[in-house]
Amino acid sequence: METKNQPLFIHKNTGEKDIFKPQKLIDALIRSGATQKEANQVLSEIYPQLYNGITTGKIYKIAYKHLRKTSQKVAGKYRLKKAVMDLGPSGYPFEKFIGRLLRQKGYEVIVNKIIQGKCVTHEVDVIARNHSEQIMVECKFHSEKGQKSDVKVPLYILSRFEDVKHTWEKDPQLKGLRFYGLIATNTRFTEDAKDFARCSGLKVLSWDYPPGNSLREWVDESGFYPITALHSLKKKEKSDLLEKDIVLCRELKNHQAILKEIGIQESRIQRILQEASELTGVK
């Protein structure tokens, strides 16, 4: 066991070694809705369980276990990053999730659309349109923590976007709209990837980028938490629901018949709906 006065070395998801910074954990807890007092309490409770070489994943599990004892809502929000990682392994649920978030922002959304570009045909993950712009969204889902999208990703997506954009610009029904390409990932981009995107005009969206408009902030602002954030649902049940196009916690209330269809008993359904309500704030 380490004391609070000794440096504690941890292993990050990227494989790197770093010094444990208590304030980073405090900040994460407060972002999830914990008060300063609650965050300090969680930190005090987990300190005796920390040791040199502990992984960030293990620290997360310990903190999450303590949060569940005090607030399902804070625990669910703290679980959000892992919940987004659990929208796999195919990545198709992640595309649906991004589509839901864009629809909440006022866009008309189509998921998985075949488009004829100038040169070749493209299968586009998400197309989002409002009164002034149309966006081609490509989703880069990573099933491993710490894996980043490097510069090859925006290089490739830019070429696809330019081919599609050529067709859109000649479509009279799209006259007057601005066209953008957006890459969304559930993890992070390398610095080279972000630099290239800024230079080329591509938009990028990752867990914590761009600051003030990141994926985490999209979810927090909308309250559109994925069903994978719920502790009361089993892994198989989450997979079954995603296959039936139930992606968000707030969608469960209106699809109780599907919960029964996949074999969940009435008593558990009520617990699941209660947790979903506490997390989203939707009664």
132 burial level (CB within 10 Å; 0-12, 13-18, 19+): exposed
Q: Is 247 within the bounds of a domain? A: yes
The 10 Å Cβ neighbour count of residue 255 is 14
What mean pLDDT is predicted for residues 250-263?
Answer: 96
Last residue of a domain, one of 49, 78, 107: 78
Sign of the Cα pseudo-torsion (214, 215, 217, 221, in order) = positive
Give the residue, 103 or 69, on which the prediction is more confident: 103
At 31, is the pLDDT very low, low, confident or very high (cuts 50, 70, 90)?
confident
d(CA 167, CA 118): 6
Question: Are residues 58 and 185 located together in one domain of the fold?
Answer: no
In a domain, 4, yes or no: no
Domain count, the chain: 3
Angle among Cα 245, 84, 264 to the nearest 5 degrees reads 50
Q: What is the pLDDT of residue 3?
A: 46
Q: Which domain holds residue 114?
A: 87-222
- Which pLDDT belongs to residue 1? 43
Q: Is residue 2 over pLDDT 50?
A: no
258 neighbors 246 (Cβ within 8 angstroms): yes
pLDDT confidence band for 122 (50 / 70 / 90): very high
Q: Are 253 and 276 in contact (CB under 8 A)?
A: yes
Same domain for 159 and 274? no
More confident residue, 34 or 113: 113
What's the alpha-carbon Rg for the chain, to the nearest Å? 21
> Does residue 161 register a pLDDT over 80?
yes
CATH code of the domain containing 110: 3.40.1350.10
Tokens standing for residue 40: 């300090």
Model's pTM, two decimal places?
0.86
Residue 3 lies in a domain: no
**In the prediction, which pLDDT does 5 show?**
61
Residues 213 and 103 in one domain: yes
Q: What is the mean pLDDT of residues 266-280?
A: 93
Note whether 100 and 209 are same-domain residues. Answer: yes
Q: Residue 62: count other Cβ atoms within 10 Å of its Cβ.
A: 17
Same-domain check for residues 113 and 183: yes
Of 78, 97, 113, the position where a domain reaches its end is 78
Q: Side-chain half-sphere of 80: how many Cα atoms within 13 Å?
A: 24
* Any domain includes 1: no
- Specify the pLDDT at position 144: 85
pLDDT at residue 234, rounded to an integer:
95
Let me know whether 230 and 206 are in one domain. no
Tell me, yes or no, whether 232 and 170 share the same domain.
no
Rounded Cα distance, 149 and 157, in Å = 12
* pLDDT tens sequence across 179-231: 999 999 999 999 999 999 999 999 999 999 999 999 999 998 999 999 999 99
Is 2 inside a domain boundary? Answer: no
| 127 lies in the same domain as 211 | yes
- What distance in Å separates the CA atoms of residue 91 and residue 97, rounded to the nearest whole number? 10
36 and 144 in a common domain: no
pLDDT in tens, 123-155: 999 999 999 999 999 999 998 888 999 999 999
User: Are 19 and 110 in a shared domain?
Assistant: no
Does the pLDDT at position 117 exceed 80? Answer: yes
Same domain (yes/no): 170, 243: no
Residue 167: inside a domain: yes
Residue-wise pLDDT for 32-77, tens only, equals: 888 898 889 888 888 889 899 999 888 988 888 888 887 777 888 8
Based on the fold, state whether residues 196 and 110 are members of the same structural domain: yes
- The dihedrals phi and psi of 226, each to the nearest 5 degrees, come to -70, 155
Q: Is 129 helix (H, G, I), strand (E, B) or coil?
A: strand
Residue 243 located in a structural domain: yes
In-domain check, residue 153: yes
